[in-house]
A and B are shown apart, each in its own frame.
Chain A
Amino acid sequence: AQSVTQLGSHVSVSEGALVLLRCNYSSSVPPYLFWYVQYPNQGLQLLLKYTTGATLVKGINGFEAEFKKSETSFHLTKPSAHMSDAAEYFCAVRGDSGGYQKVTFGIGTKLQVIP
């Protein structure tokens, strides 16, 4: 089984400030981890993913995430928030469910960027 916990359903940051969105996971198999972004009235779009190899993963729009196995975390960061980053962000983990490797999504974190 697998699960994802996103701490904070709503996060507010000032424009230009650091963005930190937290994600902790559990998985019975080596995890693949994903961050997706959903802009208003749109579907989800992949920001970045970790499968194997380098633990610091860079994605689109200046976002990056670090896989920390010891902490079972995959937090998403961006050094400087932009107004266009306002969206909902979903962390997801690949896990095993009765022999089927499925992706489980977190509840989502809405990011508000304050001018």
Chain B
Amino acid sequence: DSGVTQTPKHLITATGQRVTLRCSPRSGDLSVYWYQQSLDQGLQFLIHYYNGEERAKGNILERFSAQQFPDLHSELNLSSLELGDSALYFCASSEGRGSYNEQFFGPGTRLTVL
């Protein structure tokens, strides 16, 4: 158990819909990262938050957005969903602001868009 929790575990929705994925980092970790894992793209970095502020964006679509709240939990919002958004979404956390610190991954949320 990494100490990172993600909800829900599975999500099935339809095209055009909007969903919110939630992540609680390990106790004491200030950084939260979001990744998308799909069969054809591998593990893609989406976005990094440190102590409530956005640090960096990766391959995140404009239809996607994220935020980190004062209690350090984070939410990833996916809107106008398309079939191609079906993937595993991982959240990871680390102590410091540098993304090169060891990252602890949650169990993931499997999103299926029908």
Contacts and interface: CB of A to CB of B under 8 A. Distances in A.
Contacts of A97: 56
A44 B100 contact: no
Q: Name, among B35, B102, B106, the residue most crowded by chain A CB atoms within 10 Å (CB to CB).
A: B102
A80 to B, nearest CB: 26
A106 B45 CA distance: 11
A102 B58 contact: yes
A107 interface: yes
A104 B35 CA distance: 11
Contact of A46 (B55, B99, B102, B106): B102
A44 B55 CA distance: 22
A100 B107 contact: no
B106 A105 contact: no
A100 to B, nearest CB: 4
A108 B42 contact: yes
Contacts of B107: 41-43
Contacts of A103: 45, 99-100, 103
Interface residues of B, number: 22
Interface residues of A, number: 22
Given A94-B99, A94-B100, A100-B55, A43 B45 contact: no
A64 B4 CA distance: 26
A63 interface: no
15 contacts: A34-B102, A36-B105, A43-B90, A44-B90, A45-B105, A46-B102, A97-B56, A101-B98, A102-B45, A102-B58, A102-B99, A102-B100, A103-B45, A105-B42, A107-B42
Interface of B: 2, 4, 35, 42-43, 45, 48, 55-56, 58, 90, 92, 98-100, 102-108
